[in-house]
A = this chain, B = another copy of it.
Amino acid sequence: MLLQIEFESDIPIYLQIKNQIIRGIATGSLRLGEDLPSVRQLASDIGINFHTVNKVYTQLRQEGWVVVHRKSGVMINPELKVEKNTDYIASLEDSLSNITAEAFLRGVTKEAFFHIVEKHYAGYIKEGRE
């Protein structure tokens, strides 16, 4: 999997990496159980500080996306089952509340919005992860 970082973006680098990894899991370009590069390896590949990668892996582990295995290697959680808890639903509602309001006011119809969402969902695959 190849990560694309935009250093001039207003989105923090650690978030760009984290988002791309989660998207990678959803689209299947990262498979459950697949190893991720070591912290120093990935940092060196991208050309960033290894503390930044560390932050990503730490958050991903805390949220259950990855697990640490032998000698501090990291892999996508083979038994991935992140929660759809109330906190998440609340934050999703909040995000969509803001996003849809602006989209509506900017002339993005509900149908156009649906179309974008559908396009993305079409790219996600259900792996053998019961």
The chain A residues found within 8 Å of chain B, CB to CB, are 7-10, 12-13, 19, 22-23, 25-27, 62, 67-70, 72, 80, 82-84, 88, 92-93, 95-108, 110, 113-114, 116-118, 120-121, 124
Contact = CB atoms under 8 A, between A and B. Distances in A.
A106 B120 contact: no
A25 B106 CA distance: 12
Q: How many copies does the complex hold?
A: 4
Interface of A is mostly: helix
Nearest to A89: B108
A7 B96 contact: no
Given A80-B105, A105-B82, A96 B99 contact: yes
A105 B97 CA distance: 20
